[in-house]
Structure 1
Amino acid sequence: MAVALSFYKSSLSEEIRDEGRAQGLEQGLEQGLEQGHVQRAAEDVLLVLEQRGLEVTDEVRGLITGCGDAELLRAWLVRAVVVSEAEEIFEGE
C-alpha cells in the first residue's frame, strides 16, 4: 500500500506544524515561569523564617520546597512574619 506524502510536504501541513510548535513553546514558557514563581515563593518563606531566627527543620524545609501551590506559599509567607515557631505556618491547613 502506497502512502501519499504530498500532504505532509504541503504548505498547509507546514503551517499546522508551525502552529503546534508555537503553542508548545508558549505552554513550556508559561509552565517554566510558573515553576520559577513557585520556587521563588518557597525561597521567600524560608528566608523570612531564617531571618527571624526561627529554626527551620529539614521536615519544614521539605514541606515548603515541595509545595507547588503559589497561593498556599503566599499564605505561609504571611504567617512566617508573625509565627513564633516555623511549624506554625502550617496551622489551619
Structure 2
Amino acid sequence: MTDLSFFTSPLSQEIRAEGRAEGIVKTKIKDILMLLDGRGVPVSDTDRHRITSCDDLDTLDRWFARAITATSISEVLDADQPDTER
C-alpha cells in the first residue's frame, strides 16, 4: 500500500496554495498587458518589466482596473492616480 499522507498534509496544502497564487498573478499580468495592447496603449520595456515583476495581487488588480480606461501607461502605474474603485 502506498502512503498518500503527504498529499493531505499542511505542507502539501501550502505548496498547492502558493502554486494557485502564482498562477493568479501570472494570469493578471498577462491580462493587464493584453488589455493595454488591445487598447493601443504603448508600454515601454521599463514599464513592462515593472508589471511583469510585480507579485502583489492588490496592486495588479488596481492596475487592471485602471487599464480599462487608461489612455497612457502613466495613468495605470502612477500611484497618484485615483483608483477606479473610489
* Band the TM-score falls in, shorter-chain normalisation: 0.7 to 0.9
Answering whether residue 22 of structure 2 is matched by residue 31 of structure 1, we say no
Stretches of structure 2 lacking an aligned partner (at least 5 in a row): 81-86
- How far off is 1:71 after superposition? 1.1
Q: Name segments (4+ residues, structure 1) moved above 6 Å.
A: none
Instruction: Report if the CA contact (8 A) 1:48-1:81 is conserved.
Output: yes
Instruction: Report if the CA contact (8 A) 1:54-1:86 is conserved.
Output: yes
- How far off is 1:57 after superposition? 1.0
Report the aligned-residue RMSD.
Answer: 1.9
1:80 corresponds in structure 2 to 67
* TM-score, normalising length: structure 2: 0.78
Instruction: Report if the CA contact (8 A) 1:60-1:87 is conserved.
Output: no
CA distance in 2, matches of 1:55, 1:28: 36
- How far off is 1:34 after superposition? 0.3
- How far off is 1:87 after superposition? 2.6
- How far off is 1:72 after superposition? 0.8
CA distance in 2, matches of 1:54, 1:23: 44
CA distance in 1, matches of 2:29, 2:41: 16
Structure number with bigger Rg: 1
Among residues 22, 42, 67, which one is paired with 2:29 in the alignment? Answer: 42
Q: Which has the higher helix share?
A: 1
- Identity across matched positions, percent: 27
Give per-residue Cα distances to partners, 1:41-60, cap 9 Å, x unaligned.
11111111000011111111
Stretches of structure 1 lacking an aligned partner (at least 5 in a row): 1-17
State the aligned residue count.
76
